Structure 1
Amino acid sequence: MHTWPVQDAKARFSEFLETCLHDGPQMVSKRGRETAVLVPIELWRQLQSSAKPSLKSLLLSDDARGDLVLPQRGQARRREVTLLEG
């Protein structure tokens, strides 16, 4: 994977994009640190579909539904209340 400094990626974006489409993902660095990757859309969709399910899809699926396990109540009793007369 080729690494492009952010200045080069901005200045030569068309070449950056074409290289990505032809050679695959391209790394972008900022101040010498790897910061982002440009990937072809087919690869992005493949990665998205193989990713873990979203919270929304998880909550809406039947797999998320199950018996709610509640802890047993303790043996503590309520204290008696005495009414004050007056």
Structure 2
Amino acid sequence: MQTWQMQDAKARLSEVVKRAEQDGPQDITVHGKSVAVVLSRAAFERMSGQQASLLAFMQASPLAGLDDELVIERDASLTRDVSL
């Protein structure tokens, strides 16, 4: 992660944003202390969980709606020896 001093980040904001998109998060410091991180929109959405839900993913599956045609057999074997 690249580190930028606040005054440099302010003066070169467009470059900071471009690098966040291309190279990943950009750290902003004030007096040597990290105070903020600039992320790309894609990274933010991944981290904040604003992606499609598991339900939406399953509903979009090519197997959705094949309940009567899709047969999934469960393995009936025991996973451990219960005779002990």
Q: TM-score scaled by structure 1?
A: 0.55
Percent identical pairs in the alignment equals 36
Structure 1 residues not aligned, in runs of 5+: 51-86
Partner of 1:59: none
Structure 2 residues not aligned, in runs of 5+: 51-84
Partner of 1:23: 23
Rg comparison, structure with higher value: 1
Q: What root-mean-square deviation, in Å, do the aligned CA atoms of Structure 1 and Structure 2 show?
A: 1.2
Partner of 2:5: 5
Partner of 1:49: 49
Q: Which has the higher helix share?
A: 1
Aligned length: 50
Q: TM-score scaled by structure 2?
A: 0.56
| Displacement over 3 Å in runs of 4+ | none
